[in-house]
């Protein structure tokens, strides 16, 4: 069974990692951001998940979802682009080509 982990501005990266590992034991998990998140909440998510982000970890999965979000501002887009994470770069490029 695939589980959905919903991330918001209050999500704790360490707690989320623990929950993600539990879900992997029972089939897997995907990370999603609600469509109702504001730009300020997206900023908080980026601030919380950026320090531990690496090319293929849960933190970068969250940042990929931020890159796909409709409320993404140009300032956040440039902040994500500066991270040099391949998955985030691809998500930003895909979203830019759709616009």
pLDDT the model gives residue 98: 84
**Residue 6 β-bridge partners:** 32
Which pLDDT band holds residue 1 (cuts at 50, 70, 90)?
confident
Domain ranges of the chain: 3-98
Asked whether the predicted pLDDT for residue 99 surpasses 70, the reply is: no
Judge contact between 29 and 21, C-beta under 8 A.
Answer: no
pTM of structure: 0.91
Cα gap 89→23, rounded to integer Å:
26
What is the tens place of the pLDDT at every residue in 24-33? 899 889 999 9
């Amino acid at each position: 069974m695939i589980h959905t982990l919903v991330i918001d501005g209050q999500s704790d990266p360490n707690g989320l990692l623990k929950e993600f590992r539990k879900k992997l034991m029972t089939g897997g998990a995907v990370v999603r951001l609600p469509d109702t998140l504001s730009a300020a909440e997206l900023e908080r998510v980026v601030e919380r998940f950026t320090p531990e982000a690496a090319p293929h970890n849960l933190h970068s999965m969250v940042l990929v979802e931020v890159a796909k979000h409709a409320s993404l501002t140009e300032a956040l887009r440039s902040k994500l682009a500066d991270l040099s994470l391949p998955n985030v770069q691809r998500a930003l490029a895909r979203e830019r080509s759709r616009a």
